[in-house]
Amino acid sequence: VCSMGNSTSRLYSALAKTLSSGAVPQHQDCLEQLDSARLDPIDPKDLLEQCQMVLQKRPPRFQRNFVSLKKNAASTHRPIRVMQWNILAQALGEGKDNFVQCPMEALKWEERKCLILEEILAYKPDILCLQEVDHYFDTFEPLLSRLGYQCTFFPKPWSPCLDVEQNNGPDGCALFFVKDRFELINSANIRLTAMKLKTNQVAIAQTLKCNETGRLFCIAVTHLKARTGWERFRSAQGCDLLQNLKSITQGAKIPLIVCGDFNAEPTEEVYREFSNSSLNLNSAYKLLSPDGQSEPPYTTWKIRPSGECRHTLDYIWYSQHALNVNSALGLLTEEQIGPNRLPSFHYPSDHLSLVCDFSFNQDPDRLL
């Protein structure tokens, strides 16, 4: 038994509270219960230690290294670290996704949640973009707000999580940014349309001001429709999102970063729409390839009853005229992932996290 001081005891109590929470029928009730916990800031090192205590019987987290991509002169400001991650909704992982090679024990929320937090705490993103978040109100909002993040959540209108018995509410997209680094100028919750019809997919777009440089930029997070056969639907959703972002960024005058699980390989039309958009976007992870033109071989790798699925579906798009990618986090190797693929005792989601460090282009004529 570890001896813990008062502050660590309070922290462990807060973590244990989120670990033991069951289904939450009323979001507001949960928010009211956790108001007092929000008052005290959390030291991220303390929270990481507590997560590691919970995970001490699991294998250690795999080492992933950042690859330097900066070719220009050193930036005059601290880079902005952006993390993109489909964390796998708990209700879907346990109830619908049928990961036939993943032991149910590895999907226990009490431990899987700590693996997710450990990944976030290890890379310390300034901006965090998540999909498939179904424990926002009882876990991510109360903990990350105490770590200094401003938090926004937009659930799917008809989340498949609600079909799972003992669910924790709907899943959706969540966006978090460090309040000390950025000021929120504008926020938009976007319900995506396709063929003029409202769909079940959503996006969040926020215009932030970087306190250090005074520069404005827009950060967006989305999760497009899944499954083969829905390519035209995803294309229509992508067009709608781009139209919204053109308006928000004043026709690309404001630099833009778009994070998401697009559920689309680079061969799909929606990928080409983003590549050829008037917003002048590039995909950051292409820069890891030798020619700078190829996406990674995979960002998700799982085994379902229908067989093995290895796809590139997750992206961080950015305004290449206004932003530089200083570095990007390398992906897990096939050896690290292992023969049973994802999720696993080593890794909490079926999607890999993507992390990039951005800096502003120093040409003042190209930026607000």
Residue carrying the six token digits 């149910």? 104
Q: What is the pLDDT along the chain (368 residues), one digit of tens a residue?
A: 333 334 444 455 556 666 554 444 444 444 444 454 456 899 999 999 999 999 999 999 899 999 999 776 567 789 999 999 999 999 999 887 788 899 999 999 999 999 999 999 999 999 999 999 999 999 999 999 999 999 999 999 999 999 999 899 999 999 999 999 999 999 999 999 998 999 999 999 999 999 999 999 999 999 999 999 999 999 999 999 999 999 999 999 999 999 999 999 999 999 999 999 999 999 999 999 999 999 999 999 999 988 999 999 999 999 999 999 999 999 999 999 999 999 999 999 999 999 999 999 976 454 44
pLDDT at 8: 42
What are the tokens at 97?
Answer: 């996704």
Cis omega (within 30 of 0) on the bond before 160?
no
Angle between helices 6-20 and 109-123 (to 10 degrees): 130
CA 318, 320, 324, 328 dihedral sign is: positive
Q: What is the DSSP letter of 331?
A: P
Q: What is the pTM of this model?
A: 0.90
pLDDT (0 to 100) of residue 29: 43
In a domain, 222, yes or no: yes
- Give residue 363's pLDDT: 66
Q: Are β-strands 307-311 and 314-319 bridged in parallel, bridged antiparallel, or unpaired?
A: unpaired
Residue 291 CB partners (closer than 8 Å, separation 6+): none
pLDDT at residue number 2: 36
Question: Is 14 inside any structural domain?
Answer: no
Tell which phi-psi region holds residue 40, choosing left (phi > 0), alpha (psi between -120 and 50) or beta. Answer: beta
What is the C-alpha radius of gyration for the chain, rounded to an integer number of angstroms?
20
Within a domain: 71: no
Rounded Cα–Cα distance for residues 280 and 274 (Å): 8
How far apart CA 32 and CA 284 sit, in angstroms, is 40
- Give the single-character DSSP code of 174: E
CB contact set of 359 (below 8 Å; sequence gap of 6+): 70, 75, 77, 79, 80, 323, 324, 326
Asked whether residue 61 is assigned to any structural domain, the reply reads no
Report helix, strand and coil shares of the chain as percent, to nearest 5: 30, 30, 40
CA distance 315 to 285: 7
Please give the pLDDT value at position 98.
82
Give the start-end residues of each E strand in the chain. 66-68, 80-86, 127-133, 149-155, 172-178, 182-194, 197-210, 216-223, 256-261, 281-283, 300-304, 307-311, 314-319, 323-329, 354-360
Angle formed at CA 162 by CA 156 and CA 165, multiple of 5 degrees: 160
What range does the domain containing 240 cover? 80-340+348-362
Tell me how many domains the chain contains.
1
With CA atoms as reference, report the closest residue to 173 among 140, 150, 202, 208. Answer: 202
Of 184, 94, 173, 192, the closest CA to residue 134 belongs to 173
For residue 136, being part of any structural domain is answered with: yes
Please report whether residue 86 resides in a domain.
yes
Side-chain-side CA neighbours of residue 93 (13 Å): 29
The Cα 327–Cα 355 span in angstroms is 8
Helix, strand, or coil (residue 198): strand
3 assigned to some structural domain: no
Alpha-carbon distance of 225 to 233, in angstroms, equals: 7
The CATH number of the domain holding residue 88 is 3.60.10.10
